[in-house]
Structure 1
Amino acid sequence: MRFFTISTSPNSSAASLIHRIQRQLFSSKIGSNSKSLYRKISQLGDPNVSVTPVLDGWVNGGNYVDKQELQRIVEELRFYKRFKHALEVSLWMTNERRFPMSFYDAAVRLKLIFKVFGLERAEDYFNKIPENKKSFSVYLALLNCYMLVKSVDKAESIMQKARDLGYASKPIWYNLMMNLHYRVGDMKKIHDLLTEMEVKGIPHDQFTQSICLSVCAWASDSIGMDKIVATMESDKLAIPHWKTYVTAIQGYLRMGLNDRALPMLTKLEGQLKSPRDKTFVFTILLDLYADIGNKDELHRLWNEFKLTNKIGNKVYLSMIRALVKFNDVEGAERIFKEWELSGLEIDFRVPNILIDSYCTDGLLKKAEDLIAKGISEGGSPLMTTWILLAGGYLRKNQVPKSVEALKKAVSVCTPKFKNQLTTCLDFLETRAYVEKEEEFTKLIKMEGISLTAIFDKLSNFINNGQLRSVPPC
């Protein structure tokens, strides 16, 4: 598999093609041919199924595709986290001298290699890129990889290289480094980077502001947060991004300053006037009104929004989750009934919120009935559905039923979780959680599966000794 291929001597027809691509690059719409090609690729849901035969078949069938359209397809696949397929399209696009590789293509490919194969392969790819092709964007892509894996020394080395090359003149370089230092808890280095930006006259953008707000929240510095908010709102030329508002609101809530968070929520609502990210902003607003404890505003927002906007599964899920935060299970059930009558595709992430609530409250029959109803209507329970039910059974010391629920979770889980869940099953079936409490507790808190309710519940049961008297399965 060739990760880097450069066409050095294109013929005249290729030169003409390049000119046409450059004229069209990043235009606002994808051609209808590309949409059809993307549909063919998107149907290959299994990442282990190669998209190369689809691409070859498309061209061999006499269809035309240009580089701009392929780049758009790569971006779509990246957006949906289909990194392996996106990498295949990227490779197909430039290999066999189909299209010359740009700096942008190299940067995107480096990120995709990192996502698919890990840091070592990404570094190997970077080292094979000729020095004259290592542009601003390529170095930035590698810095982003180092930030994600929290590799401070390597990130600082690349940052210094960027300074030496004159690349580090934009806020994005400092934002990535500050994000890294925030993730590892080194606030002094964040201060040093902000000072460097000030000395060099590098302006703060929305991401810089968000990082500064996060640092202030971490330090419980409400005065610092007030100053940043005042500064960003005083800029008449740039409306604060909704993500910056969210960071500020969460920071105030973290410090218990609900009175300062409320006006920011009103301003965040103003972002709903823009069609971009409208649904996503709305779901965040629902969560934030629940966090702030204002049920009246939650219902007001819900009733206003659904009058003029289409409500999808994610929005129903957010509203149900928000009501559960208030312990308003009856209200959540009413919204769930609306969802059932909406005619939307059955998505078990929606009933999962109620299933979790029922299992937490010991209402196992209601949880079982909800799962059975979803199945009868053509839905497929998720791994988390069975895990939540398993946690409910454990609250009632019904270990055999918990084992059966976990077996169903294993049957539908992805390879990423299979080993952890299988090992967890082994512990439960052999009652080894009693003899190997420390090992079992470590297992159930492993990153990637700690988001599901069962593992926190299991941990609590073990620590409280509640499982020690459970009879063998």
Structure 2
Amino acid sequence: MKLFYISTYPQSFYQKIQKQFFSKTSTRTRYSKKGSKSDSLYKRISPLGDPNVSVEPVLQQWIREGNTVNKTLLQNIINELRVYKRFRHALEVSHWMTDKRHFRTSHFDAAVRLKLIFKVYGLEQAEKFFNEIPENLKTFEVYLALLTCYANARSVDKAEAIMQKAIDLGYASKPLWYNLMMNLHYQLGNWEKLDDLMNEMEAKGIDHDHFTLAVRLSAYAAASDPDGIDKTLRIFESDPHIFLDWKTYLIAAEGYLRLGLVDKALAILQKLEGQLAITKNKNILFFFLLKLYGETGRKDELYRIWILYKQSGKVINKVYISMMRSLMKFNDIEGVEKIFEEWGSSGLSYDFRISNFLIDAYCRNGLLTKAEALINSGLSKGGDPLVITWCHLAAGYLKENQVPKAVEALRKAIAISFAESKPSKDSLTACLDYLDSSKYLEKVEEFTRLLRIENISSGAIFDQLSYFIKDGTLQPLPQDKRNCEFVTEDE
């Protein structure tokens, strides 16, 4: 039974987009495949999404009803909860398993609990728990869990110390240990350490695996080292024992494009396309193909991929977003309008992230009547404008010196922002991003003056707007001066 899993793949751009656009929510019900009893008990626990609501009454009620539990069932439930990042509930079940049901703690259980304590209470409490673990349970799984905690906390000195301890104990004989250290140094930009670790692995006869090379490739790409990218790709493609997937090609293509090596990027994109035949979730791969072909400057290739995507089956809003964003790089408003018309006739639910591309383009080009009409059309179709929708319009009005209308648009942006239970980061400051030029300084001053007169701005918002005008330049408000946090909606 696999009781804990450690991911060492670098947190790069594609992962953030995948999580934001394509991942499932962390609180939806996920039923265990381990058997009907686990199914039934987990179905009772699953709806308790609030981490502050204890699951112990559910567990106790299960027992009072005459049901039984065994250790394997509880371990499975802990893992189910961990998959969906319900760490507090998983930790509660872990404690209940040993403290109330008196099942003996194994080294696997100790390793899992150590990581859960870190997730819920932080590094200090995790270290305290580690020190309390009996020596006979401190096997390589427990040391590996502690190393994972140190790596996630980006505590280099402690990670290196526990890594050396694991080496001394003979535990660090698999690539996973080195992958954790490499990823830690990669995240911190200590790229010179990566070759040292790989050389150490080679000297000890520890084979590199997919994750080892993925971290090294990401570092070469981040360091704008084309020779390093070339070298690592050759290793990937020449070793049949190393797993090669589309994410590897994505990292390489992004690295080449960052360097302006368009021909090399195009060659990699051809290989990336070849992954379509073996990729289950084709939507995310098309999403990136459209994004990257847009960055190559090859509009014909961009449209070729778009046609290929539409032939592949049902299209989704997220991929429309990628296509329209790429067309905006060419300032191809007419092309965006055509894609928007296709989307409008697709029958998909109305999504202001789609129309925002055109609203932004219209506002930037003084086509305010078109922008207003598009917003009204979206409202009539049941769409909900985003904070950034009204920010686009506010910026457009300000550019055309229609300051009262800009204030009214911002009023609507503020209303949405404060209605959100958890607003995204920097949403209202997105309006000011459009004004990042002394050319608009007088308009910004008038803008903030009217906000105060209209009494629609809180002190925090006014401070944030005013600070942008400091010393004749537009500057972001320092973190320690912010009383509220606002956020940019993703388009």
Range of TM-score over shorter length: 0.7 to 0.9
Q: Does residue 271 in structure 1 map to residue 275 in structure 2?
A: yes
2:176 to 162, 172, 181: 172
How big is the shift at 1:175? 1.7
| SS of residue matched to 1:169 | coil
2:414 to 406, 410, 434: 406
The residue number in structure 1 matching 2:165 is 161
The residue number in structure 2 matching 1:452 is 488
Unaligned 5+ residue runs, structure 1? 1-27, 455-473
Q: Root-mean-square deviation (CA), in Å?
A: 4.0
Deviations 1:304-355 (A, max 9, x none): 3343444344333333333333433444444445445545555555555555
The residue number in structure 1 matching 2:231 is 227
Closer/same/farther in 2, CA of residues 344 and 98 from structure 1, 3 Å limit: farther
Closer/same/farther in 2, CA of residues 363 and 402 from structure 1, 3 Å limit: farther
2:477 to 427, 434, 441: 441
Closer/same/farther in 2, CA of residues 439 and 220 from structure 1, 3 Å limit: closer
Closer/same/farther in 2, CA of residues 258 and 109 from structure 1, 3 Å limit: farther
Deviations 1:181-218 (A, max 9, x none): 22222232222212211211111111211222233234
The residue number in structure 2 matching 1:457 is none
Q: Does residue 427 in structure 1 map to residue 435 in structure 2?
A: no
* Alignment partners' CA distance in 1, 2:357 and 2:98: 45
Closer/same/farther in 2, CA of residues 213 and 426 from structure 1, 3 Å limit: same
The residue number in structure 1 matching 2:390 is 389
The residue number in structure 2 matching 1:201 is 205
How big is the shift at 1:424? 4.2
* Alignment partners' CA distance in 2, 1:44 and 1:438: 46
Alignment of 1:350-389 (within 5 A): 350-351=354-355, 377-378=381-382, 385-387=386-388, 389=390
The residue number in structure 2 matching 1:250 is 254
| SS of residue matched to 2:202 | helix
* Alignment partners' CA distance in 2, 1:93 and 1:158: 29
Q: Which amino acid aligns with 2:285?
A: V
Closer/same/farther in 2, CA of residues 389 and 82 from structure 1, 3 Å limit: farther
The residue number in structure 2 matching 1:148 is 152
Conserved 8 A contact 1:403-1:428: no
The residue number in structure 1 matching 2:322 is 318
Alignment of 1:82-97 (within 5 A): 82-97=86-101
Conserved 8 A contact 1:87-1:113: yes
The residue number in structure 2 matching 1:117 is 121
The residue number in structure 1 matching 2:138 is 134
| SS of residue matched to 1:186 | coil
Q: Which amino acid aligns with 1:263?
A: A
Closer/same/farther in 2, CA of residues 255 and 433 from structure 1, 3 Å limit: closer
- The TM-score with structure 2 as length reference comes to 0.71
Q: Which amino acid aligns with 1:120?
A: E
Conserved 8 A contact 2:287-2:319: yes
| SS of residue matched to 1:261 | helix
Alignment of 1:180-219 (within 5 A): 180-219=184-223
How big is the shift at 1:101? 4.1
How big is the shift at 1:66? 5.9
How big is the shift at 1:250? 1.6
| SS of residue matched to 1:441 | coil
* Alignment partners' CA distance in 1, 2:369 and 2:73: 52
Conserved 8 A contact 1:407-1:425: no
Count of aligned residue pairs for this structure pair: 422
Closer/same/farther in 2, CA of residues 104 and 225 from structure 1, 3 Å limit: same
Deviations 1:386-434 (A, max 9, x none): 14533652562635642541242122042886999977424258x4654
Q: Which amino acid aligns with 1:131?
A: E
130-139 or 177-186, which moves further after superposition? 130-139
Closer/same/farther in 2, CA of residues 250 and 415 from structure 1, 3 Å limit: closer
How big is the shift at 1:165? 1.7
Unaligned 5+ residue runs, structure 2? 1-31, 430-457
Conserved 8 A contact 2:387-2:413: yes
Conserved 8 A contact 1:210-1:248: no
- The TM-score with structure 1 as length reference comes to 0.73
Q: Which amino acid aligns with 2:191?
A: M
Q: Which amino acid aligns with 1:117?
A: Y
* Alignment partners' CA distance in 1, 2:337 and 2:62: 48
Q: Does residue 108 in structure 1 map to residue 109 in structure 2?
A: no
The residue number in structure 2 matching 1:261 is 265
Would you tell me which structure has more helix in proportion to its own residues?
Answer: 1
* Alignment partners' CA distance in 2, 1:90 and 1:205: 32
Closer/same/farther in 2, CA of residues 300 and 199 from structure 1, 3 Å limit: same
Conserved 8 A contact 1:390-1:406: no
Q: Which amino acid aligns with 1:110?
A: L
How big is the shift at 1:230? 1.3
Q: Which amino acid aligns with 1:180?
A: L
How big is the shift at 1:227? 1.9
Closer/same/farther in 2, CA of residues 342 and 401 from structure 1, 3 Å limit: closer
Conserved 8 A contact 2:33-2:39: no
* Alignment partners' CA distance in 2, 1:32 and 1:358: 56
237-246 or 36-45, which moves further after superposition? 36-45
* Alignment partners' CA distance in 2, 1:76 and 1:165: 32
Q: Which amino acid aligns with 1:295?
A: K
